[in-house]
Amino acid sequence: ACAQGRLPPPQSAPRCQFGGACFSVHLVNSSYAEARSACGSRRGSLAWVSTEAELRLLLGVLAEAAVGPAPSLFWVGLRRNASACTYAERPFRGFSWEGIGGEAASQEVPAALGRWVKEPVNSCSSTRCAGLQLTPAVAPGGDPNWGWKE
């Protein structure tokens, strides 16, 4: 899932929030590094969200792209550097959003964004990436089933 900034490139069909982020989805079986490079070639970066409204927009885009009833894992810019540890009490468990150019994007994280499908490995010694897992089945209340997964 790529964050396209405020002005989407003409070749893609991103969904945008008024005055905010734009997201596009590209279905390719690839590594985190390959996905990051592909987003960069589209003048974007791996997606990251800082508000619940942005998360809802991203979930909508991903739900439209998900294929079949099985869970789908989409790379987003969620990464934990080798020098960072796992923190069970934090919503992102020590992971942070990777901004443009590989720099960490700093922002406050609403607790509602801290939903994990499976808790990440407790570690302080290796770089780890997390994606957004989406199950097409809708949860009670009309929201898709989703969570972060290392």
Question: pLDDT tens digit string along 77-111?
Answer: 999 888 888 888 888 898 888 865 555 555 556 77
**pLDDT at residue 29, rounded to an integer:** 87
3-state secondary structure 87-117: CCCCCCCCCEEECHHHCEECCCCCHHHCCEC
Q: Which domains does the chain have, with CATH numbers?
A: 2-149 (3.10.100)
Specify the DSSP class assigned to residue 145.
Answer: E
Cα 110 to Cα 50, 54, 70, 99, 124, distances in angstroms: 8, 12, 28, 18, 24
Confirm if 54 and 3 have CB atoms less than 8 A apart.
no
46, 53 in Cβ contact below 8 A? no
What was the pLDDT predicted at 138?
A: 62
Residue 4 has pLDDT above 70, yes or no: no
Question: Among 135, 97, 137, which Cα is nearest to 113's?
Answer: 97
Q: What is the pLDDT of residue 11?
A: 41
The pLDDT tens digits of the residues spanning 45-78 come to 888 888 888 888 888 888 887 777 778 889 999 9
Tell me, what's the pLDDT at 56? 85
